[in-house]
A and B are shown apart, each in its own frame.
Chain A
Amino acid sequence: MPDDLNWAIGGEAGDGINSTGKIFAQALSRAGRQVFTSKDFASRIRGGYTAYKVRSSTERVESVVDRLDVLIALTQRTVEENMDELHEGSVIIYDGERTMMEDFEAPEGMIDLAVPLKSLAEDAGGAIMQNIVALGAACEVANFPIDNLDEALEKRFGDKGQSIIDNNQDAARLGEEYVQEEYDEEFSYDIETTDNDYVLLNGDEAIGMGAIAAGCRFYSGYPITPATDVMEYLKGRLERYGGHVMQTEDELSAINMALGAARAGARAMTATSGPGIDLMAETFGLVAQSETPLVICDVMRSGPSTGMPTKQEQGDLNMTLFGGHGEIPRFVVAPTTVSECFHKTIEAFNYAEKYQTPVYLVSDLALAVTEQTFAPEEFDMDAVEIDRGKLVGEDEIDTWLNDSDQFQPHFPAADGISPRTLPGTSGGAHMTTGLEHDELGRRTEEQEVRIEQVDKRNQKVETAKEEEEWDYREFGDPDADTLVLSWGSNEGAMREAIGFLDEADISVRFISVPYLFPRPDLTEEIEAADDAIVVECNATGQFADVIEHDTLTRLKRINKYNGVRFKADELAERITDELDTPQEVPT
C-alpha cells in the first residue's frame, strides 16, 4: 500500500516509549488516518527492550506487517531488534550525541538521521522532552503537518498546564527545524491526511466502555497484565455513572465480591488473566450453581503458570470452556477485534442476566495492547439494548411464590430460566447455595431433585442455542476451496492475509468465530471445503480440537506460540505452505 507508513519508537523500558508512541498514533488519528499499533515489551519496569509500532494508512489497517519505514531508535538494540523489518530507504532517527549511540551508523542503504534530541529538548525547556523532539523530526521526514502533533500534545498534557504544552510543542518544532536545516535529503514519504473522524482505543478500553454502556455498576479486580487497563479505564468513569471499582486483595475476593454485587442486583464484572482465572475457578462453579449473572473477563496472556506475562497467547480456551470441577453450564464469548470487544461485552451482560449464568468474556493480549482507529459510529450508544431477563419486582412476586408463600429462585421452568428477585423486594426473601439445592435454594441430595436441577441449568444453554444468533463473521470468497477458521485477535491479520493471498491467485474463505460456547455448527462449511485450516496462537490447537470434535473431521492447523501475534504477510505464507500446491506469495 503506497500510502502506508510503518513507524516505530524503541528503547529501554522506562524511556517513555509507550506514551510517545501513543502521542504519534493520536496525531495520525486526528489527521484522519487509520492507525493500528502494537507493542513489543518485556516484563520489566526499567531496562529491557521495548517498542511501540504504528502502522498507518488512509485505508483500513488491521494488522502489523514486517516492515518499518521510520524508526526512532533510542538504543542500538532497537535497530538490531528490527533489522528484519528495515529496508532500503528506511529512516533511522537517533541521538548521535548520546553516548550509547555516538558510534552508530545506519546500515547500508538506509537513511541515517542523527538529531541531537537531548540538547534540543533542553533548549525547549527540559531533557525529558527528547522523545517529543524525535516526533517533530519524524513529522518532517514523513511530510506530516506538525499541527496534528500539537493537538495530540494538548490532549496528552492538557491537565499539566499550558506552559508544559507550549514547551512540548516547541520541542517538536526544534526537531522538525533541525531536520529541515541539516538534511537536504528528499524523503520518499508524503503522508496524506483526510477529514475523517476517528477514535483511537485498545481492546481493554473497549471492554470497559462496553461495560458502562451495558449498565455495569460494580467492578472488582486485582491488577494483572494485560487486564489491568480494564480496571484503570473503569476507575473514575464507572463512579461517574453511580458505580464503583474495587481493587481487591486477590482474585478470589474479586470474583466473590462481584458475585455479591450481582446477587444484590448490580450488573457486575471482574477481569483478569490466566493466573487469576485459575484462582477464580472454584467460585465460577458457585456462580453457575447459584444461577447468578456475572461477566468474567479473561484477557489471555502466555502461560502456563507465570509463563510470559507480556506476550500473546490464546491458551485458555480449554480452561474457559471446561475449567472447574463438576459440569458447569456457561457461556464463552470471545471478541475478534478491538471494536468487537465493546459489542461482545454488552452481549455478555445480556446473556448473563437473561440466562442467569456466568459468562466468560475471553480477549487476548494482542487485542488489549493494540490501539486502533474506528469511526465513532462503531460505538453507537443509541443502539445499546439491555435485557435483564426474568427479573421479578414487588408487584409480580405473588405469581412466583409456592403454597407456603416462599419465593422459588430455582423454579424448574421449561426453558430452564427461573424467576429472579432482588434483595430488598418484599416477600422475596430466599437463599441459594453452591450445594445442590431444591427450587427454594435449600440443600438437597434427593435424586429426583438433583436430576431436575442439573437438567434445568443445562436447559438454559439449550434455550439460548435456540433463542440467540450464534453467528460467525465471514470474509474472503464464500465459494473458495480453502477454508480458514480462527478465533480471537487473529481476525485482523487474517483479513489482510486474504489480500496477499489474492495477489497470488489463492482464494480463501475465512470464518472468524466469536462464540466459543454455545458456538456455531461448522459441519457444512467444513464439508464444503477441500482444505480447512485452523489458525490460533497456542501450541496444541485447542480450538481445532473442539471443531474437530464437533464436526468429526480432521483439520489442518497453523499454530504460533512464540509470544508474538500473527502478522498478515506471515500468515499468508503459512497458509500457502499448508495448501497442497505451495506457491510463492508476493508480500
Chain B
Amino acid sequence: MSSDVRFTDFKSDKQPTWCPGCGDFGTMNGMMKALANTGNDPDNTFIVAGIGCSGKIGTYMHSYALHGVHGRALPVGIGVKSANPDLEVMVSGGDGDGYSIGAGHFVHAARRNMDMTYVVMDNRIYGLTKGQFSPTSREDFETSTSPDGPKQSPVNPLALALAADGTFIAQSFSSDAQRHEEIVQQAVEHDGFGFVNVYSPCVTFNDVDTYDYFRDTIVDVDDEDHDPTDRDAAREKITNDTEYQGVIYQDEDSVPYNERHGLDSNMADIPDGAPEDATDLVREFY
C-alpha cells in the first residue's frame, strides 16, 4: 500500500454514462475517497458490482473488479476476501440488486460478518430497467408496474441488517459529500461487515425521493447525541420512520468471520504438486 494514493487513482478513464445529476456520482466519489483515506490503492482493492445503473461503478472505478450477475455481488465479495484477506473488498449495487433478487445474500452476509464493505445505492427505483418500483419504493409510488402504487410495505434495510445481527449499520446521503465520505470510511475501517445504505437519488425515474426531499427531511444521528454502540437506541432509530444519516449501530466487539475462521493466508499460493503430506489423506482410507 502506498501512502501517496489520491482518490482520483481510483477513477478509471471511462466517463460515467449516468444521467446528469444522478446520485451515483456522489456515492462513487465518497467510496473512492474513503478507500484512499484508509491507505488503500487500486492494486490491493477488489470492487464487486451488482447489476443496475449502480453496478456500473465497476467500470468507472479503477481497481481489481468484477461486475457479476444481478443480485449476487455479496457472495463474490465473500469469496474474494476468504481467498485473500489482505485485499480490501468493497461490494456495491442497487436497492433491487441487494434487497430484492439478492435479499437472501444480504441477510447472510450481515450475520456472516466478513471483513468487507457493502455500499447500496438506494434510489427506491429500478433505474436500469427504466422505472419499475423497487423493494424500497413507497407503498403509493406510481410506476409503470405499479400504476396505483405497489401497495406493499417497503423493505427497511437497516432493520433487516439489525435483525441479522449486522455489526455495522449506517446510512448516508450522496449529496452530503462530506458526511457520506466519513460514513463510508468508518464502514471500511470497521472490523467486519460495514454496511451503508446510501440515499442516491434517481433524477430520471423517481420524482418522489428527490434531492429536495432528502435535504428537507434528513436528520443526522450525530445531532441527536446518538450512541451507535447502544443496540436499543439503534433499534429505536431504525424503526421510527425518520430518514437518518450517520452510523446507527456499531458492535465494537465485532470479530470478523475471517478472523474467527483463521483465514489469514493468501490461498493463491500453492505448491507445484500435491501438498507435502498428502499421502496421509490416502492412509486415512486404510
Q: Closest CB of chain A to B168's CB: distance in Å?
A: 20
B35 CB → nearest A CB, Å: 12
Residue among B13, B14, B86, B268 with the highest chain A CB neighbour number at 10 A: B268
Interchain CB contact under 8 A, B68 and A429: no
**Is B65 on the interface with A (CB-CB < 8 A)?**
yes
Q: A200 to B82, alpha carbons, bound, how many Å?
A: 33
| In contact, A244 and B66 (Cβ under 8 angstroms) | no
A106 in the interface (beta carbon within 8 A): no
CA A254 – CA B104 in complex, angstroms?
13
Q: Are B268 and A265 in contact (CB under 8 A)?
A: yes
Given contacts A286-B69, A433-B58, A433-B66, contact A423 B46 (CB under 8 A): yes
Residue of B nearest to A346 (CB): B274
Cα distance, A443 to B67, chains bound together (Å) = 10
Interface residues of B in 116-165 (CB under 8 A from A): none
Q: Does B77 sit within 8 A of A, measured CB to CB?
A: yes
A266 contacts B83, C-beta separation under 8 Å: yes
Could you tell me the distance in whole angstroms from the C-beta of A392 to the nearest C-beta in chain B? 13
- How far is A577 from B271 in the complex, measured between Cα atoms in Å? 52
CA gap between A363 and B82 in the complex, in Å: 27
Distance A209 CA – B45 CA, assembled complex (angstroms): 33
Q: What residues of chain A lie closer than 8 Å to B279, measured between beta carbons?
A: 381
Task: Contact check, B58 vs A431: say whether CB atoms are below 8 A apart.
Answer: yes
- Min Cβ gap B282→A in Å is 5
Q: How far is the CA of A423 from the CA of B58 in the complex (A)?
A: 15
Instruction: Determine which residue in B43, B45, B262 has the highest number of CB atoms from chain A within 10 A of its CB, and name it.
Output: B43
CA gap between A443 and B13 in the complex, in Å: 13
Report B-chain residues with C-beta under 8 Å of the C-beta of A433: 58-59, 66-68
Chain B neighbourhood of A432, CB < 8 A:
65-67
Q: How many A-B residue pairs have CB under 8 A?
A: 217
Of the candidates B59, B104, B270, B282, the one whose C-beta lies within 8 Å of that of A376 is B282
Interchain CB contact under 8 A, B59 and A422: no
Contacts of B81 in A (CB 8 A): 260, 264
B48 to chain A, nearest CB (A): 7
Contact flag A424-B86 (CB < 8 Å), given A212-B275, A242-B267, A260-B48? yes
In Å, the complex CA distance between A455 and B107 comes to 40
Residues of B within 8 A of A290 (CB): 66, 68
Q: Which residues of A contact B107 (CB under 8 A)?
A: 249
Scoring B47, B82, B267 by chain A CB atoms within 10 A of each residue's CB, the highest score goes to: B267
Interface of chain A residues 194 through 230 with chain B (CB within 8 A): 197-201, 205, 209, 212-215, 217-218, 220
Check if A283 is an interface residue, CB within 8 A of chain B: yes
Task: Report B250 CB to chain A, min CB distance, Å.
Answer: 24
A381 touches B285 (CB 8 A): no
| A331–chain B nearest beta-carbon distance, Å | 21
Closest B residue to A282 by beta carbon equals B69
Q: Is the beta-carbon distance between A218 and B267 smaller than 8 angstroms? A: yes
Contacts A260-B76, A431-B64 given: A209-B282 contact, CB under 8 Å?
Answer: yes
> Which of B12, B62, B75, B80 contacts A264 (CB under 8 A)?
B80
Q: Is the CB of A430 within 8 A of B76?
A: no
**What is the CB-to-nearest-CB distance from B46 to chain A, in angstroms, rounded to a whole number?**
5
Query: A443, B270: Cβ atoms under 8 Å?
Result: no
Chain A residues within an 8 Å CB radius of B78: 246, 257, 260
The segment from A87-95, A175-183, A314-322, A382-390 that touches chain B is A382-390
- Does B6 reach chain A (CB closer than 8 Å)? no
Residues of B within 8 A of A379 (CB): 281-282
Contacts of A259 in B (CB 8 A): 66, 68, 76, 79
8 A Cβ contacts from B73-101 to A? 75-84, 86-87
Secondary structure of the A contact surface, majority rule? mixed
Distance (whole angstroms) from the CB of B79 to the closest CB of chain A: 3
> How close is A449's CB to chain B, nearest CB, in angstroms?
15
**Contacting pair B273 A244 (CB below 8 A):** no
> Which residue of B63, B83, B107 has the most chain A CB atoms within 10 A of its CB atom?
B83
Residue of A nearest to B55 (CB): A433
Distance between Cα atoms of A115 and B199 in the complex (Å): 75
* B270 close to A218 (CB less than 8 A): no
Q: List chain B residues, Cβ under 8 A from A382.
A: 273-274
B281 near A209 (CB under 8 angstroms)?
yes
Is B263 an interface residue when CB atoms closer than 8 A count as contact? yes
User: A404 contacts which chain B residues (CB < 8 A)?
Assistant: 13
* A215-269 at interface with B (beta carbon < 8 Å): 215, 217-218, 220, 237, 239, 241-244, 246, 248-250, 252-254, 256-268
Contact between chains at B83 and A265 (CB < 8 Å): yes
Partner of A424, one of B43, B58, B271, B283: B43
Q: Is B236 an interface residue (CB 8 A)?
A: no
CA of A197 to CA of B282 in the docked complex: distance in angstroms? 12
| Inter-chain contacts of B272 with A (CB < 8 A) | 385-386
Q: A423-B46, A424-B43 are in contact. Are A252 and B75 (CB under 8 A)?
A: yes
Report which of B13, B76, B84 forms a contact with A257, defined as CB distance below 8 A. B76
Q: Are A253 and B105 in contact (CB under 8 A)?
A: yes
> Nearest chain A CB to B9's CB is how many angstroms away?
10
Q: Which residues of A contact B267 (CB under 8 A)?
A: 217-218, 242-244, 261, 264-267
Q: A208: nearest residue on chain B (CB-CB)?
A: B281
Q: How far is the CA of A286 from the CA of B51 in the complex (A)?
A: 12
Q: Does B42 contact A (CB under 8 A)?
A: yes
Task: Tell whether A434 is near chain B: CB-to-CB under 8 Å.
Answer: yes
User: In whole angstroms, how far apart are the Cα atoms of A241 and B281 in the complex?
Assistant: 11
Check if B84 sits within 8 Å of A264, measured CB to CB. yes
- Nearest opposing residue in chain A for B84, CB measure: A264
Determine how close the nearest CB of chain A comes to the CB of B277; give it in whole angstroms. Answer: 9
Q: A215-B270, A242-B267 are in contact. Are A381 and B282 (CB under 8 A)?
A: yes
Residues of chain B from 188 to 247 with CB closer than 8 A to chain A in the complex:
none
Is there a chain A Cβ closer than 8 Å to B44's Cβ? Answer: yes
Interface string of B251-286 (1 = CB under 8 A from A): 000000000011101111011111100110111011
Task: Assess the B270–A249 pair: CB atoms within 8 A.
Answer: no
B89 to chain A, nearest CB (A): 9
Q: Which residues of A contact B87 (CB under 8 A)?
A: 264, 423-424
Question: Which of A213, A218, A286, A381 makes the CB contact (< 8 A) with B82?
Answer: A218
- Given A256-B75, A256-B76: A428 and B58 interface contact (C-beta under 8 Å): no
Indicate if A118 sits at the interface (CB-CB under 8 A): no
A558 CA to B60 CA in the complex, in Å? 56
Check A258 against B273 for contact (C-beta < 8 Å): no
A30 close to chain B: CB less than 8 A: yes
Chain A nearest CB from B47 CB (Å) reads 8
State whether B79 touches A258 (Cβ < 8 A). yes
Q: Which of B80, B86, B262, B278 contacts A263 (CB 8 A)?
A: B80
Complex: A585 Cα to B40 Cα, angstroms: 74
Q: Decide if A540 is an interface residue (CB 8 Å cutoff).
A: no
Decide yes or no whether B180 CB sits under 8 A from chain A. no
CB nearest to B58 among chain A residues = A431
Do residues B79 and A264 form an inter-chain contact, with CB atoms below 8 A? yes
Q: How far is the CB of B284 from chain A (nearest CB, A)?
A: 8
Query: A431 and B273: CB pair below 8 A?
Result: no
Chain A residues contacting B47 (CB-CB under 8 Å) are 431
User: Could you jot down 28 A-B contacts, CB within 8 Å?
Assistant: A199-B286, A201-B285, A213-B275, A214-B274, A220-B75, A220-B79, A237-B281, A252-B72, A253-B72, A256-B72, A260-B77, A261-B83, A262-B79, A263-B64, A263-B79, A264-B81, A265-B84, A266-B82, A266-B84, A267-B267, A424-B64, A424-B86, A425-B43, A431-B63, A431-B66, A434-B67, A442-B14, A442-B59
State the 3 A-B residue pairs at the shortest beta-carbon distance, nearest first. Answer: A260-B79, A265-B268, A266-B267
Given contacts A259-B68, A261-B82, 8 further A-B contacts (CB under 8 A): A209-B282, A241-B275, A244-B267, A256-B75, A422-B84, A431-B12, A431-B63, A431-B64
A residues with a Cβ closer than 8 A to B are 29-30, 197-201, 205, 209, 212-215, 217-218, 220, 237, 239, 241-244, 246, 248-250, 252-254, 256-268, 282-283, 286, 290, 376, 379, 381-382, 384-386, 404, 422-435, 442-443
